[in-house]
């Protein structure tokens, strides 16, 4: 069994794979990582583990926890099943590396755009020649809500909510309309620009806000909340076979 651990900005996601097949997935707080991983190890016969960390808040020695298994932590120097054509490869986040690997595994020889809607919204493009070219980064939904409250004197702190109508008739409704419609139009607009250049484009939506956004987008997409975990698993398999 393969154990996949993705330490994100806000939460930890983990999954157990048997080969390419997802057996079970988990999501928990940073503070729970040691106890939750130990319980996973007690339940499943873990032979290989891969970890991706986009934050340094975790001080647990994960490598020590897996000293009896094959352990790998993804970095921008890790062997991957694609050519990294990013102009500053040392600055490329490990989450974006994993998403590119997932696209290569799921859609080989396809032009793919992966949209990760989480703390940030990232756009990552992989060509049909298996080259990672780059993409874009913008604030995520929750970040936009928090920034309106933090950087103004009068706007309230709100939780994300689908706007009931286009025209906000009060301050709260205006915030919901502005942020959510702004994000939807941003995503639709980026997809449209990519499709003008790559008409055969495959688009994947992933990340914590996948379900919230997928039903509201008009573009044809594949929605897969586990896409990053699948990418990490493909990197682990790629390196285990060496």
- Is residue 51 marked as binding? no
95 counts as catalytic: yes
- Is residue 118 marked as binding? no
- Is residue 203 marked as binding? no
Cβ neighbourhood burial of 185 (10 Å; 0-12, 13-18, 19+): exposed
- Is residue 21 marked as binding? no
DSSP-assigned states of every residue in 121-178: EEEEEE-TTSEEEEEEEEE-HHHHHHHHHHT-SSPPP------SSSS-SSHHHHHHHH
- Is residue 94 marked as binding? yes
- Is residue 11 marked as binding? yes
Give dist(CA 87, CA 92) in Å, integer. 9
Could you tell me the CA-to-CA distances from 152 to 7, 143, 155, 156, 161 in Å, in that order? Answer: 31, 14, 6, 9, 20
- Is residue 59 marked as binding? no
The active-site residue out of 20, 95, 124, 200 is: 95
- Is residue 189 marked as binding? no
Among 107, 62, 98, 72, smallest CA distance to 242 is for 72
Pair 160, 212: CB distance under 8 Å: yes
- Is residue 194 marked as binding? no
Among 212, 240, 237, 227, smallest CA distance to 25 is for 227
- Is residue 35 marked as binding? no
- Is residue 144 marked as binding? no
Give dist(CA 196, CA 219) in Å, integer. 13
- Is residue 20 marked as binding? no
Please enumerate, by residue number, every residue annotated as part of a binding site for K(+): 116
Please enumerate, by residue number, every residue annotated as part of a binding site for substrate: 86, 93-96, 171
Q: Tell me the catalytic residues.
A: 95
Please enumerate, by residue number, every residue annotated as part of a binding site: 6-13, 86, 93-96, 116, 119, 171
Please enumerate, by residue number, every residue annotated as part of a binding site for ATP: 6-13, 119
């Amino acid at each position: 069994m393969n154990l996949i651990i993705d330490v994100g900005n806000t939460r930890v996601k983990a999954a157990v794979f048997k080969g390419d097949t997802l057996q079970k997935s988990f999501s928990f707080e940073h503070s729970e990582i040691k106890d939750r991983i130990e319980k996973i190890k007690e339940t499943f016969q873990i032979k290989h583990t891969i970890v991706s960390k986009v934050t340094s808040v975790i001080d647990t020695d994960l490598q020590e926890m897996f000293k009896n298994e094959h352990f790998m932590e993804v970095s921008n120097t890790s062997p991957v099943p694609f050519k990294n054509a990013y102009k500053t490869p040392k600055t490329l986040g490990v989450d974006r590396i994993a998403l590119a690997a997932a696209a290569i595994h799921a859609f080989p020889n396809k032009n793919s755009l992966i949209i990760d809607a989480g703390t940030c919204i990232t756009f990552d493009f992989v060509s049909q020649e298996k080259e990672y070219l780059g993409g874009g980064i913008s604030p995520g939904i929750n970040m936009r809500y928090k920034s309106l409250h933090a950087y103004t004197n009068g706007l309230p702190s709100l939780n994300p909510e689908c706007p009931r109508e286009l025209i906000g008739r009060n301050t709260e409704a205006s915030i919901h309309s502005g942020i959510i419609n702004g994000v939807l139009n941003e995503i639709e607009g980026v997809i449209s620009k990519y499709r003008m250049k790559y008409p055969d484009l495959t688009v994947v939506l992933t990340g914590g806000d996948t379900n919230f956004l997928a039903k509201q987008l008009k573009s044809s997409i594949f929605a897969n909340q586990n896409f990053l975990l699948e990418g990490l698993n493909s990197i682990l398999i790629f390196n285990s076979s060496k």
